[in-house]
Structure 1
Amino acid sequence: MCGYLSMGGRRCAWHRPGEEGIGAMPGEKKQHKEDVLMRLRRIEGQVRGLQRLVEQDTYCIDVLTQVSATTRALQSFALQLLDEHMATCVSDAVAEGGEEREKKLREASNAIARLVRS
């Protein structure tokens, strides 16, 4: 998946012009991106549902139950993103070696630390 454009302008798999990934069939990258966006839209729907629950003065414990479900959905997405980043960007950098290898490993380690703390 790793195709997010960072604030620093770095691009990963689905933003690299002309690349469909190792062994990927044409169009797979586009379909994968659409699947990811659909997953994020579902999470967005969960957050909007939380807003409705608050607007409707829903019992606090019921709202907290939905908060927990939304949090799990975001955590699951984050783990999938991390897994795919490790399998693409980090793996490529490790194979390349040198400074890029160290940089990507450090980025991944920092990202894992942020996820663990959240």
Structure 2
Amino acid sequence: MSEQEHCCAPERSTPRPDKIKSNLISRLNRVEGQIRGIRGMVEKDVYCDDILNQIAAAQSALNAVGRMLLEGHMKSCVIDRIQQGDSEVIDELLKTMNKLMR
């Protein structure tokens, strides 16, 4: 398999099954709604602690999306690239995981 045939080719495209894509989009839509709600809270001068709790909930929801994507990435893209002899994917994965864990 050439580099352009595997899931994470240089154009950086990863096809996902419709069910997974739908689930991710649904979760991201909820996060987007949470962010709009937080902005509204700030505009209405809502109590700081209430806003901070909503921020924590939005971060948690976004982290859940990240975990889902990371799991799929590791089970497909990373494995495919390792099987093709591309060990650089490990360094890429480690950098990404470090960013996610900040």
TM > 0.5 fold call: yes
**5+ residue gaps in structure 1?**
15-28
Q: Using the alignment, how far apart are the partners of 1:65 and 1:103 within structure 2?
A: 39
**What is the match of residue 78 of structure 2?**
90
Deviation at 1:76, TM superposition (A): 1.5
TM-score (norm: length of structure 2): 0.83
The structure with higher relative contact order (CA 8 Å, sep 6+) is: 2
Q: Using the alignment, how far apart are the partners of 2:46 and 2:8 within structure 1?
A: 38
**What is the match of residue 103 of structure 1?**
88
| One-letter amino acid matched to 1:48 | R
Kindly, what percent of the aligned residue pairs are identical? Answer: 33
Deviation at 1:5, TM superposition (A): 8.1
RMSD value, Cα: 2.0
Deviation at 1:73, TM superposition (A): 0.9
Pick the aligned partner of 1:60 from 35, 48, 54. 48
TM-score (norm: length of structure 1): 0.73
**5+ residue gaps in structure 2?**
1-6
